[in-house]
Amino acid sequence: MIEIQADMKLSNQDNIMAYGMVTIDRVLKFMVQLRKYTDKSGEEKMLLSYPRREQNGIWSDVVRPGQEMQKRIQEAVAIAVQREIERDMHLPDVEVIELNLSESQPASRTPIRAVATVQICGISITGITVKQGKRGLFINMPQYRQADKTYKDLIYAITKEMQDKIGRSVITAYKQAEEDENQ
């Protein structure tokens, strides 16, 4: 029996519901998109799009699964998309267990306002910084500086929804601590 695995991510684009990779029997891997479209009767439908390429102005399919394989790939993609939808519906709690306000740093381009420790799924994450940018407050997950002087996160949320939840929790705690300090 050939094993089929799908790893899908939800999309923010209007005509694409999800995109990702399909692996066939751990020997072949290719990209797919679950596209939305409206048929002639006005009904919204889904289409699983396989890789295509253009040569000399002509588009052609690169991957063409047989009917039975196409059905199995669609099932694997549907399960992966459902898992993604459910994951974002049941995000774990984010508890801010420590928050230290920083001294004002007016010379810095993005001053650090606070450093937080949160607990998620029984794991404590220290060194989350609250910074003041041109468009408001934002957080950075703990990072290290690479040899090329760029920064890389040491730990990060897998989905945008979880990253947003961490940010909201830390910034809310920061605003509360700042308000308490000013009273």
**pLDDT, tens only, 20-63:** 999 999 999 999 999 999 999 999 999 999 999 999 999 999 99
Q: How many whole angstroms separate alpha carbon 162 and alpha carbon 67?
A: 37
CB contact at 8 A, 23 and 30? no
**pLDDT, tens only, 103-126:** 766 666 778 999 999 999 999 999
* Mean pLDDT of the residues in the chain: 93
Which are the contacts of 61, defined by CB distance < 8 A and separation ≥ 6?
50, 51, 52
**pLDDT, tens only, 18-28:** 999 999 999 99
Q: What is the mean pLDDT of residues 62-83?
A: 96
Positive or negative, the Cα torsion across 64, 68, 69, 71?
positive
Confidence (pTM): 0.62
Alpha-carbon torsion angle 167, 10, 150, 135, nearest 10? -40
